[in-house]
Structure 1
Amino acid sequence: MLSYRFLFTQLVRRELRQKYKGSALGILWYLVNPLVMMGAYTLMFGAILKVARVPDYPLFLMVGLSVWTFFQTSLTAAADSLILQGSLVRKARFPREAIPAATVTVQLVTLAAVLLPVALITLVIRGSWTPWLVLVPVFIVCLYGFVLGLALAVSVLHAYFRDVLPIIQAGLLPLFFLTPIYFETSKFSFVHRHPWVGTVLNWVNPIAPFLEGLRAIIYGGSGPGLGRILYGLVAAAVSLTVGRILFDRLQGELAVVL
């Protein structure tokens, strides 16, 4: 893979350029879209439905949205990445996993472009400068590894079974509302009466520990908890291992099925 790093870099650069090619704002759309979402969800959940009772709610929401958007967009974009690059797969010999990996890396750049200013603003307003900030890169790397493993799996599966992307899109919709993006699980009295609900929301949900861990550090200025750190490390390792094995076993016929 390292010997093809130039190709990988070019794939990432090309996708970054082409996504908003010809638009007036160009790559600034990477920032505009999450800000629009933040405004809409703040209005809906903070003002109209009054679900949230959280100080500095837009900042609380934006940290969560940044992580979720990276997760969601990476999976949906990676799913059909091999199909979109079918001509390249058929004509050239190179590590096929570079294609979904480049897609996830583009979304990582987007996450960094959004999360960095959000984190700086949050740290200033919330005063959450603590030594725990050194763990932010650890969580980002683990999150990237976790999502990359999933991306490898869904990309090669969708190349063979074209129902995979619609299934992912359908599954992400309810998962969004079950992910603690716009709410704090501990604030619901229902969770106190039924502790298993909190366990499901915080641990069975695969993206929740990453989101909650980063938000605890950036927004709360507190430690993410040993459980979330271990979860991030283990989830990334397992996802990458399983995703790579599945991709290696199925990639042999990609030039035929694409």
Structure 2
Amino acid sequence: MSSTSLSRPSDLKGHGFLFEQLVQRELRQKYQGSVLGLLWYLVNPLLLLGAYYLMFGVVLKPGFSHPSYPLFIMTAMVVWLFVQSTLGAAGDSLLSQAALLRKARFPREIIPTAVVTVQAMTFLALLVVVSVLTVAFQGTLGAQLLLLPVVVVLLLAFVQGLALAISALHAHFRDVQPIVGAILVPWFFVTPIFYRPTDITDQELARFALEWLNPVAPFAEAVRTILYDGNVPSASTWLYLALVGAVALVVGAAIFRRLQRDLAVML
């Protein structure tokens, strides 16, 4: 069976056990031997959220304010942490499984998908914590919360597509992961996490760039709108999320299928 035929979605159905083993291995390797073990997956992001709030909400004291500012930050930060951690881990995923790739025939997409799954588990656990806190303190319990899973699914499609592309590209061009790491730094600061575009600029062009040229921004703002504001994202936001999620997934899968043919040689 060729590697091309193995890459079809229908081929993924018969490899559930391998996928489960890869996910479990990824979970065990992260914090094996630590006292808290897998709880670090939740503790680390919470500590990071606290550190960012202390720096940007207390020490630097921005010239704007939002009620329950820590919750304002957290509802957008959970999205960024998921994107950042997944893209950071995806690059090396194929290289770390080089021995398995040489020995066995299976859909190669399983490997980066396992990485996305592990990071998604952390994201969902953290999102539940943030959701409970935000709804409790903001009083935003309402029917709009039913839309949150839709945003999560579209976000998963977006991240999955990027992870497929990055993993395959890094296996061929070993500079890709360091480049992605470098890009994530400025990307973080231009993502409206600690502010809304209207908080920092009155220029329409600048606000448009912050809101729509950064594909992570609408996802973060959609989660914030649902949890923090208690409102439904606009129709234009839904259209953008669906389009970006679909394009990222299709393009990422196409790049992966094209480059996976040479994985045995490259690894």
TM bucket (normalised to shorter chain) is over 0.9
Q: Aligned-pair distance for 1:58?
A: 1.2
Residue 212 of structure 2 aligns with an amino acid whose one-letter code is W
**1:227-246 matches, cutoff 5 A:** 227-246=236-255
Aligned AA (1:38): L
Q: What amino acid maps onto 2:260 in structure 1?
A: Q
Shift in Å, 1:228: 1.4
| 2-structure distance, mates of 1:182, 1:236 | 24
1:162 counterpart SS class = coil
Q: Note if 1:48 corresponds to 2:50.
A: no
Look up the match of 2:8.
Answer: none
Partner of 1:107: 119
Q: Which residue of 1 aligns with 2:164?
A: 152
Check the 8 A contact 1:75/1:154 in 2, yes or no. Answer: yes
Counterpart pick for 2:93 among 68, 81, 90 = 81
Q: Which of 18, 24, 32 is the equivalent residue of 2:29? A: 18
Deviations 1:198-255 (CA, angstroms, capped at 9, x unpaired): 1111110010010100110011101111111111111111111111111111101101
Counterpart residue type for residue 118 of structure 1: V
Structure 1 window deviating more from structure 2 (83-92 vs 53-62): it is 53-62
Separation of aligned partners in 1, 2:126 and 2:17: 26
1:120 alignment partner AA: V
Match for 1:210 among 200, 216, 219? 219
**Equivalence map 1:125-164=2 (5 Å):** 125-164=137-176
Check the 8 A contact 1:216/1:224 in 2, yes or no: yes
Are the aligned partners of 1:31 and 1:114 in contact in 2 as well (CA < 8 Å)? yes
Runs of 4+ in 1 over 6 A off after TM superposition: none
Question: In structure 2, the residue corresponding to 1:38 is in which secondary structure?
Answer: helix
Check whether the contact 1:100–1:155 (CA below 8 A) recurs between aligned residues: yes
**Structure 2 counterpart of 1:174, one-letter code:** P
**Percent identical across equivalent pairs?**
52
The one-letter code sitting in structure 2 at the alignment partner of 1:71 is V
CA shift for structure 1 position 17: 2.0
What is the Cα-based RMSD across aligned positions, in Å?
1.0
1:65 aligns with 77
Which AA in structure 2 matches 1:245? A
2:205 is matched with 196
Is this contact kept in 2: 1:15–1:103, CA < 8 A? yes
2:39 aligned with 1:28: yes
Any conservation in 2 of the 1:11–1:99 contact (CA below 8 Å)? Answer: yes
Match of 2:231 in 1: 222
Q: Residue 111 of structure 1: CA displacement?
A: 0.3
